[in-house]
Structure 1
Amino acid sequence: MIRLARGATGFRGPHEAPLPRTEAALFRAACFTAAMEARGRAGEMVPGEVQTFRRAALSDGYGRVFTALGHVHLPVVAFTTDPVREGEPVPGFADPPVWAQVFETAGLRVMGVKELMTPLEEVDVSELSPAELTEIRYWKPSCLGDVLFNWWD
């Protein structure tokens, strides 16, 4: 069973300790290294100020475009091939391209579609704070990816 760590939702209660943070520079560097590995380009990184994730468009040498999603609080990365629109749920996840191992080398765990689409009923949420559980009950995400990569306010 997959266990979600504290900070997965991006929420904390008013008297709780600050959430852990992943370094934006680590994600940015991994994106540029991945783009070089893929013989492509890395677009500008969009910071995760109003959502739980940073994102950057990465193209490969074949003209395919992926958006790398780097969680702000947990060292995890996911991918999508569909455009991510501000304020809307991630439109769908994609399995990581072969060059995604660069993120693993940087210390970030790369998640595939099967794991991201795990129904929430099959996820251990025992490490989440009461504030996080309240947000999950309110927003009613259906799968793990919807919890990790969200725009909840």
Structure 2
Amino acid sequence: MTKTLTRTELYELIWTHPRSTLAKELGISDVAKRRIEIAREREAAEREREAKRLEEIAMHRQKVREHIVNLGKQRRAALDIREMVGVLSTHPELGPEGNPQFDDWVRLALDVADELDPMKRPLELLITGAGTAPER
């Protein structure tokens, strides 16, 4: 005859009796016990794999966020260089005829600004800088 247990009764039995004794009292065979243990081990392994996958996704997202922030900083640095060149090129001491050394410096500064500016780079380079997406 099978006895039906309430949730509270089952909880009390589980926490007050050893598993091996309790299994015998409830009529659970050793084979059934082992199957339950295997199922629990599989569930634990699956939870661990899922946690690892979620952690990889979170790490990738963090890396992408950092890359976006760095691109913003590079863009601002490029704009700062262009602004500085603009201000210096209107300096009264340069005179209307210009200065060849200053012109060389301006070209160099604008080249550096273009290298820094993510808006001037090919899209493929910007994407590969963020890394590849983790597998799902």
TM-score, normalised relative to structure 1: 0.21
Q: Which has the higher strand share?
A: 1
Which entry has the higher C-alpha Rg, 1 or 2? 2
TM-score, normalised relative to structure 2: 0.22
